[in-house]
Chains A and B, each alone.
Chain A
Amino acid sequence: MVRFYFEVARTAFRRQLIYRWANLAGLLTNIFFGAVFSYVVIALFHTRPAVAGYNVSDTLRYTWLVQAMVMVVLTFGWYDLMLTIRSGAVISDMSKPCDFYWYWFSREYGRNIYYLFYRGLPTYLAGMLLFGFGAPGDWRYWLAFIISLLLGATVGIAYRMLYNAVAFWSLEARGIGTLFVVIALFFTGSYVPIPFFPHWALGIMQWLPFNALINVPTEIVLGKISGNTILFELARQLAWAIILTLIVRLVISIAARRVIVQGG
């Protein structure tokens, strides 16, 4: 069965390879937004040398790491599951002799891996070339980063399944979906690096699941979280991955009992 899920992931990865031009256009978009945010950051740091332990090149790295990971962890505008619910195709996926959640999970993981190599890496490299901030160094941080990114991507898949599952109750739920994604982007550092938030807000935000998506891996690779705190953060990510996965599976099992297929 593991082999089956692996093949599903591999197929999803290969399907993505076809969209070369679309990926190139998306890459340019990521680079453009990265550049805009970089100029904002550079302009702000004219007044102060450092904020919350971040100087200007740390913050630039943060910005580009987020840009590089957005498509891997929090695909914007992902309504694939929602569309199958609307078209009725969801029923054929549900009847497949495999677990419905793990089927979608494998598909999405295959895509995530694609985006890691074909979108994330080139985005960060472009940022390095344009703004000359270099890569963060220590290999131990990179090791922890990879684990953290895998966990973040797992949370991300559960999250996108969750807001797509809204379609079981309301067929046109794209507006809600956008809101879900924007909330997650906001609370995981895509608009403003999380360390720049006021103290009282940080206390709350660190306990939200969104923190596990992109902010934790980024802070780890930048060496802003170190020692035993890394283990604690990884454990917290793992906890969110398990909790959200269980919630989504519960929601889907409730939906499966009352699903009405459209069309025919």
Chain B
Amino acid sequence: MIENMLSDLRLYLHLLRMQWRAQSQYKMNRAIDIGSYFAVTSLEFVGVLVYFGPFPSMLGWHVGEVAMLYGVMSIGFGFAELFGAGIDNFQDTIRLGEFDRVLLRPVSSFVQVAGSDFRLRRLGRISQGCITFVIALRLLPDLHWTLAKFIALLLGIASGSVLFLSVLLLGATLCFWTIETTELVNILSYGGRDMLSYPINIYNQAMQRFFLFVIPLAFGSYVPTCYVLGRPLPFGLPGEAVFASPLVALAFALSAGAIWQFGVRHYQSTGS
């Protein structure tokens, strides 16, 4: 078991190294790609800032607090996009019948799919998230930091990446049956991302519950940010719930993995 996992990990790292070297062959292209993606994600954030010109706050959240939430979400989502590019492209693998070939190889299909792509351009979003976080710190000079808050933040970002990755995996799994419905999955991944760019208490109760308890993406950004800012959580959740984030993420990832396995077993080639 452990040995299997180690060899899977070695294979995955090898695939990543190949992707890295391939993309490094085109230095200019890589630089333009990362730069343009940075510009795209920065414009999205500037959009949030513009709202706070005419309006002083969003249901009690001030610009610095929203910026911190946005930064945390961006970093978590950025890592998920970076490592999940292969999963995100899965519909092409299915549509072209490539998955038959994946299944024939005597190694984990998940590792092969996950390692099939690695998008360096996603570094653009991660760096935007970091800069946004620094801006948030400048806008919140009175924030009192403790070790617990720092740990909560790191745990939250790591959990956020795992959660978003699991959502991408669920979307990929759907392709086993639908061949392609990327747009519906976009509601969960990109829609979830846009939704969580703002404090979730602005949404109606059903949407809040959904993103806390069903697809618990809020544990990756909203819950840790509330803990750092000392804000109360909805539905009477204690602030310390943040330390459960890794467990929530793990449980969600395992469920997504189980559904993926189920999909793999029910795979019927597209053929042509």
Contact = CB atoms under 8 A, between A and B. Distances in A.
Interface stretch (A10-18, A19-27, A143-151, A215-223): A19-27
Interface stretch (A44-52, A91-99, A109-117, A225-233): A44-52
B47 A29 contact: no
Given A43-B59, A183-B43, A175 B191 contact: no
A45 B186 CA distance: 28
B187 A28 contact: yes
B53 A198 contact: yes
Given A32-B187, A33-B191, A40-B198, A186 B43 contact: yes
Interface string A158-201: 00000000000000100110110011001000011000111000
Contacts of B39: 179, 182
Would you call the interface of chain A mostly helix, strand, loop, or mixed? Answer: helix
Would you call the interface of chain B mostly helix, strand, loop, or mixed? Answer: helix
B166 to A, nearest CB: 19
A179 B57 CA distance: 29
A251 B187 CA distance: 37
Contacts of B202: 39-40, 42-43
A36 interface: yes
Contacts of B58: 40, 43-44
B53 A175 contact: no
Contacts of B37: 175, 178
B20 interface: no
A69 to B, nearest CB: 18
A47 B56 contact: yes
A29 B187 contact: yes
A172 B43 CA distance: 22
Interface residues on B, range: 35 or more
A25 B51 contact: no
Interface stretch (B28-36, B78-86, B151-159, B237-245): B28-36
A172 B47 CA distance: 28
A175 B33 contact: yes
A166 B89 CA distance: 24
Contacts of A39: 198, 202-204, 207
A178 B36 contact: yes
Contacts of B33: 175
Given A40-B58, A46-B59, A51-B54, A186 B121 contact: no
B40 interface: yes
B40 A178 contact: yes
A26 B40 contact: no
> Counting chain A CB atoms within 10 Å of each CB, which of B47, B50, B56, B207 scores highest?
B50
Interface of A: 21-22, 25-26, 28-29, 32-33, 36, 39-40, 42-48, 51-52, 172, 175-176, 178-179, 182-183, 186, 191-192, 196-198
Interface of B: 29, 32-33, 36-37, 39-40, 43-44, 46-47, 50-51, 53-59, 121, 181-184, 186-187, 191, 194-195, 198, 202-204, 207
13 contacts: A26-B183, A29-B183, A29-B184, A36-B191, A39-B204, A51-B54, A176-B36, A178-B36, A183-B43, A186-B46, A191-B44, A196-B54, A198-B53
